[in-house]
Chains A and B, each alone.
Chain A
C-alpha cells in the first residue's frame, strides 16, 4: 500500500515537472487561427519580397531556415526609433555569432530610405549586412505588411518625422508564425524577449544549445 502511494506521489511529481517544462519551452502562436473544413491552421505572416541595404531583392522565403526579429522604423525618425534600435542592437549583439537568428528592419519611409541610405545607417550602426537586413519597398505594401505583423504604421504629417508607428519588436519562427513580441521602447522587456528567442531556438532545432 505504502509503495503504491509512494509511486503515485512520484508519478504526480514527474507529471507536474513535465507539465511545467512544457509551458516553459513552448511559446504561444500569436494571431487568430483560421479554420478550413474544421481544421485549424495557425496564423502566418504572408510572404514578402523587399530590397535590402545591398540593393539585393530578399524575401521571407530566404528566412525559412532562420528565426528572425522584426521592427518597423525610418532612418530620419526623431521620436521612438533610436530607443527601439538600441534594443534591437542588444538582441543583435546577443546572437551575433548564431547564424540561425536574423534581424529585419522595414523602413516605413521608402521615399527617403533608399538602399544607399539604409546602407549608411547600418554602417553607422556598425552591424553585419548579412545578419541584419534593412529593407525598403513599396510604401503601401510596407504599411500593409506592418498590419500583418500587428504593428501600427501610417503616414501622418502631424507626427514627428511625418509617420506614426508603434515600436514593437517581433519574433518570427521558421514557418512565419509570430511567437513573441516586446516593447522596443521599454528596455526592461528585452531580457525576457531574448529568453524567448533562446526558447524558440531550442524548439525549432530540437537541441539544448544556448
Chain B
C-alpha cells in the first residue's frame, strides 16, 4: 500500500504496478521476491529497492499472495501454505 500505492497502480517508473503484473502468476518468483526483496544499492540501472520480509510464515505468505491475486490478477489461483513452504526452500539467497 505504501509503496505500490492504494490501488496497486505503482508510481511513475520508480515503483511497478501490481495491477496485471506478470510476476503475480509466477509462484516461485513471487514467493522469493516477497521473501528476499530487491537490493539496489549496487545497481546501475535500478534505484528503488524493495525490502524483503524474512519473518513472514508460509501461512502469512499464502494469505498475502491469495489476497494479491484476488485483488490484482485476472485469473486468481489459490496457493496453499504447504506449497509456499516447498517454494521457499528453493529461494534461499
Residue positions of A touching B, CB distance < 8 A: 75-76, 78-80, 82-83, 85-86, 89, 112, 117, 120-121, 123-126, 160-161
Contact = CB atoms under 8 A, between A and B. Distances in A.
Contact of A82 (B2, B40, B41): B2
A124 B44 CA distance: 13
Interface of B is mostly: loop
B50 interface: yes
Given A82-B2, A125-B12, A126-B12, A76 B50 contact: no
Contacts of B50: 78
Contacts of A86: 5, 11
B1 to A, nearest CB: 9
Contact of A83 (B2, B44, B45, B49): B2
Contacts, number: 49
B82 to A, nearest CB: 30
Contact of A85 (B11, B13, B41, B45): B11
Interface in B1-20: 2-3, 5, 11-15
B47 interface: yes
Nearest to B10: A82
A76 B47 contact: yes
Given A76-B48, A117-B47, 18 more contacts: A76-B47, A78-B50, A78-B51, A80-B2, A82-B5, A82-B11, A82-B15, A82-B48, A83-B2, A85-B14, A112-B41, A120-B44, A120-B47, A121-B48, A124-B14, A124-B48, A125-B12, A161-B49
